[in-house]
Structure 1
Amino acid sequence: MFEITWDSFVRIVTVGTLAYIGLILFLRISGKRTLSKLNAFDLVVTVALGSTLSTVLLDSSLTLFEGLTAFALLLVLQYLISFGSIHWGWFNKLIKSEPKLLYLNGEFLRSAMKKERMTEIEILQAIRSSGSGSTSEATAVVLETDGSLSVISSEPKDAMQNVKTQK
């Protein structure tokens, strides 16, 4: 269980280093979008790349070339999906979810929360994390397509009074 042969050690170090360099090169070529977390498909690619790297490192039956081919395939598929979502509206709607409004002007939108499986506590946590001290400082909370919660804060009352005074 704790044994490692010199050959397997050398293989892991050599293949691991080369696979890592190959992955970095592929990621640089494919662009920033590949590792973004804009939607579920982006997350899947990120996890799959890590899983593939792990498999290449530890499975001696796989060659370095097979691992690099798997990296390339994942990146090409990611490119095709993002290309399709940009060029065809129907495809974009098929693969991506829409942002959902969960809180607006002091009211929790219970039906949207239930549909998205979000609790009041999670929304309150997002409001606090945004720097707002209370729900009165937040105008809206939106569940974004990547699963994050965006808090839209209301303007400070002093600033609103200054705008009214200047008119």
Structure 2
Amino acid sequence: MDFSEMFYQGWEGIVRTIIVGALAYTTLVASLRVTGNRTLSKLNAFDLVVTVALGSVLATILLSEGVALAEGVTALLLLIGLQYVVAMLSVKSRGFAKLVRSEPRLLLRDGEPLPQAMHAARVTRDELDTVMRTSGYTDRSTISSIILEADGSFSVVGTGHKASERVEVATAST
């Protein structure tokens, strides 16, 4: 085994990566500017998949000599175009939107976990507590709701002060 080839195989590959990479990157940025921020919004799982796929295609264009720039750019434009079409159809058709998007799910209301919703979302009480603590709450009774958003993130809506805010208030008054 020739270990030197692991680190350097000649200038041809490096020059190809620089030229093809710069052109592919420019094409990707220009395409995203034309189609708008919605293409990379991560509002739902479908958006996340497209974002990851764009990154994967760009990496393949950069590193695979078997993929010509024209093929790679076609793949990027295809993904961006399909994302644009899906977003437009989602805006125009509620049925289509339900098919490709997940809905937010209420997991906790007025400090009380909702077991059926948690089970359907495959979220445990320990995970709910982690979300609560990460958001700065230590007591469930100070939380109005925890929502699992369509993009997989959690929203925590409090009823009062966070624990950290209470400490600051107590410190400020002494």
Query: Where do residues 83-122 of structure 1 align in structure 2 (5 Å cutoff)?
Result: 83-122=88-127
The answer to whether the aligner puts 1:77 opposite 2:82 as a matched pair is yes
- The runs of at least 4 consecutive aligned structure 1 residues that moved more than 4 Å come to none
Q: Distance in 2 between matches of 1:36 and 1:81?
A: 13
Q: Alignment identity in percent?
A: 47
Cα distance, 1:54 vs. partner? 0.7
Q: Give yes or no for contact 2:102–2:150 (8 Å, CA) kept in 1.
A: yes
Match of 1:68 in 2: 73
Q: 2:149 aligns with which of 131, 134, 144?
A: 144
The Cα shift of 1:130 comes to 2.2
Name the amino acid aligned to 2:118. Answer: M
Q: Which position in structure 1 is the counterpart of 2:13? A: 8
How many residues get paired? 156
Show the counterpart of 2:169.
none
Q: Which residue of 1 aligns with 2:61?
A: 56
What amino acid is the match of 1:144?
A: E
Distance 2:48 2:90 in 1: 16
3-state SS in 2 of match to 1:146:
coil
Task: Give the residue type in structure 2 aligned to 1:9.
Answer: I
Q: Which runs of 5+ in 1 are unaligned?
A: 157-167
CA distance in 2, matches of 1:92, 1:33: 15
Q: Which residue of 1 aligns with 2:50?
A: 45
Contact 2:24 2:73 in 1 (8 A): yes
Residue 49 of structure 1: how far off its partner (Å): 0.6
Distance 1:106 1:58 in 2: 51
List gaps (5 residues or longer) in structure 2: 162-174
